[in-house]
Structure 1
Amino acid sequence: MKAVFDDRQWRHDPKHFMANGKLLPSPEQPARIEKLLSGAREAGCTMQGPGDAGMGPIAALHSPEYLTFLQNIYTRWRRIPDAGEEVIPNIHPANRSDSYPRSAVGQAGYHQADTACPIGEGTWEAAYWSAQVAVTGADLLAAGERAAYALSRPPGHHAFGDLAGGFCFLNNSGIAAERLRMRGLRPAILDVDVHHGNGTQGIFYDRDDVLTVSLHADPVRFYPFFWGHADERGAGRGLGYNLNLPLARGTDDDAFLKALDTGLARIEAFGADVVVVALGLDAYEGDPFQGFAVTTPGFGRIGAAIAGLGLPVLFVQEGGYLCDELGENLTSVLTGFEGA
């Protein structure tokens, strides 16, 4: 399997994270890259860098207003007297239809959903190349590869068309799916991260040309709280093209795989001819977020089940945070898929 990564993705190094009112180190550390690279190599992946497809594939899903913000906000923020080292919002609009402010502080509140997506000096560059990694992975599939792995970091599935959140800035999995659709394919996005892919859902919610399926911890008491419930099925032309499968905290291998069967059946019913897997490894029993109890062998079973679709698959890295087994869990997914 070919794997794609760019060294410029190291440049995003977030310092700020808040949980339950307490300041903590960000779980989305650059050190994740080392473990994921090791896991990909252990799975036998051949590493390569991405091409540069420019802004087109990114702007196909993200508004020019938002992209202008991401590219310029750090420089603008540093002009504020006594500003912090990172762009962190402290106010948010009550409604997305509220007026658009001119100030950097106001725009940060408009375009950043929470305090888990601080923007530093290297954030835009890293996010841009993270998206290009996903685009290159999509192009590999369009050129005939059976599977590819995109080590996209920072991750992307919490990013809406004009809103960052949950460590995410550009929706890498969505960008890849749209790239495949533009190449004449019929993509489904399967999100197996422990957190609901709310940004992905939001981008495609009223569309019928991309199916979105997400397995995740029930958001009634888990991030992102406001999205990911079972009754969210899509809207307009997209009604019936979004499937949420919220699961109880502590879900183990067998229960996760049973729900996965439901998701895979929906992908078959959609008539997909390519699948983008938003690959969160934070469903692991030892992940810092402690949402599910999937084991390392369980990830191999997940990979094998996805392979059972018989479709080309692009694995795009989402969550999965620092623990000793992070790389092993990636190896398990990819070898499970390859060996099926």
Structure 2
Amino acid sequence: MKIYSHENQMLHQPKTYFSRGKMRQPQEKPERLIELLKAPKALGLTVITAKDIGIEPILDVHDLGYVDFLKNAYSEWMAVEEDMGEEVQTTIYMPNNNEGLGILAKAAKYQADGSAPIGKYSWTSIYWSAQTALNAAQNLLTQETEQNKIQVCITRPVGHHARKSAAGGFCYLNNAAIIAQYLLKKYNKVAIIDTDMHHGQGIQEIFYDRKDVLYTSVHGSPIDFYPVVAGHEHERGQGEGYGYNFNFPMPHGTDEAGFFDYVDKSLATVELFNPDVIVHVLGFDVYKDDPQAKCHVSTEGFQVLAQKLKELNKPLIVLVEGGYCIEKLNDNFQSFLSGL
């Protein structure tokens, strides 16, 4: 097993978070990475510093104009003579019929909600989060062996809500989609297994009309719960991608046994697809005491989850994404790593 991260992911420090009618305290913050990094250290595992794979794999998934916005929005925001605040943030959401004339219009075009502000160093962290994921993919493309068949990426900011040209849900670049696309250089079929508390509507959107990437997601019902407009069971894909998108929305309040019932259904679908490689979006926000949780997974449950993934006996890349009960991230991640 190999584990990757990069210290530049610490630089993104959001100060604002607008959700459901009011400002809230940011939850996707650098302290998460500090706690997550304690887990491999406690288990005597080495964390590899990610290297720069380049921008091209990012642009294979995301629109150039959107990536340009993420990279340059802060400097354009600060160049406005009026005091605009410390971060690029908008309450105007107009992705269509918007020519992007001016930074406020660009923010309205490319920020899908109020949870993805852009600060002075955000782009650096966003970029290195994607590079951390890409290091695992690059290693599988060039050096797949039994010793590195399983790879874990400690990534922030998180990614699965990021759409082709929109940030939201604490997400900016869709790491799972980026590495799935990158892995297709060698592999014919990639399966993405998402067990984060929230549906990854960004992944779904990107691969919705394709059959080379299977997307399965176990998540809380999106009825009045983020992302609210996607993640329902009837969303099965379109065109040649029909039947390659599987959502397993859990009723809010689902217990641990119920969670694993849904996980087993997801894994059965993946086994039927018989992928060459698996990408797992791991969310610790399914933990019973997480502020985002609508189910009740225990610390010990993450070890069980890891064992189930390992039993698929496929090359596996794990992306550590959601999880906002900071004081339990270390314990929960140790449990998961022990299962691998």
Which category of TM-score, normalised to the shorter sequence, fits these structures?
A: over 0.9
- In 1, distance between residues paired with 2:277 and 2:137? 10
Contact 1:141 1:147 in 2 (8 A): no
What is the alpha-carbon distance in structure 1 between the residues aligned to residue 19 and residue 71 of structure 2?
27
Q: Distance in 2 between matches of 1:170 and 1:333?
A: 24
- The structure-2 alpha-carbon separation of the partners of 1:230 and 1:44, relative to structure 1 and needing over 3 Å to count, comes to farther
What does 1:257-276 align with in structure 2 at a 5 Å threshold? 257-276=260-279
Query: Is the Cα contact below 8 Å between 2:289 and 2:325 reproduced in 1?
Result: no
Query: Would you say 1:100 and 2:103 are equivalent positions?
Result: no
Please list the CA deviations of residues 85-123 of structure 1 after superposition, one character each: whole Å capped at 9, or x if unmatched: 000112112xx4423221110110110110100000111
Instruction: Measure the CA separation in 2 of the matches of 1:101 and 1:52.
Output: 30
Q: Does residue 237 of the first structure (1) align with residue 240 of the second (2)?
A: yes
**Is residue 286–residue 323 contact of structure 1 (8 Å, CA) maintained in 2?**
no
Moved more, 158-167 or 244-253: 244-253
Specify the alignment match of 1:50 in structure 2: 50
Alignment partner of 1:227 is 2:230:
yes
Determine helix, strand or coil for the equivalent of 1:78.
Answer: helix
Match of 1:253 in 2: 256
- Give the distance between the partners of 1:91 and 1:195, measured in 2 at CA: 23
1:117 is aligned to 2:122: no
Identity %: 40
Q: Which amino acid aligns with 1:21?
A: G
* Residue 297 (1) aligns with residue 296 (2): no
Is 1:165 aligned to 2:168, yes or no?
Answer: yes
State the partner residue of 2:126.
127
Match of 1:88 in 2: 89
Distance 2:16 2:151 in 1: 32
| Change in 2 beyond 3 A, CA 1:43/1:279 | farther
TM-score by length of 1: 0.96
Q: Is the 8 A contact 1:251 1:294 kept in 2?
A: no
| In structure 1, C-alpha distance between the alignment counterparts of 2:20 and 2:179, rounded to whole Å | 34
Long gaps (5+) in structure 1: none
Q: How does 1:17-36 map to 2 (within 5 A)?
A: 17-36=17-36
The answer to whether the aligner puts 1:288 opposite 2:291 as a matched pair is yes
- Deviation, 1:41, is 2.5
SS in 1 for 2:88: coil
- Give the structure 2 partner of residue 9 of structure 1: 9
CA separation in 2, counterparts of 1:251 and 1:40?
Answer: 30
Residue in structure 2 matching 1:184, options 187, 191, 198: 187
Alpha-carbon distance, 1:43 to partner: 4.0
Moved over 6 A (4+): none
* TM-score (ref. length: structure 2): 0.96
Q: Does 1:68 align with 2:59?
A: no
C-alpha RMSD over aligned residues = 1.2
